[in-house]
Amino acid sequence: MHSHPRDHDHHHHHDHSETRSQQVVLELGEGVGVLVVHASPEFLGTEIEISPAADDELRQHKTVLARSAGETTSHVLVYDNLAEGDYTLWLDGTAWRRGVRVAGGAVAELDLRSVA
């Protein structure tokens, strides 16, 4: 995961339309966890930011990607190497979900497929 200042001038030129089938390597352990966010297909290519609950300005972003597992394609983003604690997800600069809990040594999942 990489960090960018919130107000940055560069544009991201990535192809998010292809379905990824490679495995995701996750960093987790004591005091470090992972958050997997399941999203609706219309979020494909959308950047969603995350920040610690105590610091709205300290944001990182990931992009919703299509990933395949066998016959199934899911639209997900994966935040790994997160310090244990509570987080806020940001969409278009607005706090979208607050109080998202990530536990050390665990994979937390958040299902936003039925949420517009």
Is residue 67 very low, low, confident or very high in pLDDT (cuts 50, 70, 90)? confident
Nearest to 60 by CA among 31, 84, 82, 86: 82
Handedness of CA 57, 99, 34, 89 (dihedral sign): negative
Domain boundaries, the chain: 24-42+51-111
Largest CA distance in the chain: 40
pLDDT in tens, 45-64: 999 999 999 999 999 999 99
**pLDDT in the model for residue 11:** 34
Predicted confidence band of residue 15 (pLDDT cuts 50, 70, 90): very low
pLDDT in tens, 72-84: 888 999 999 999 9
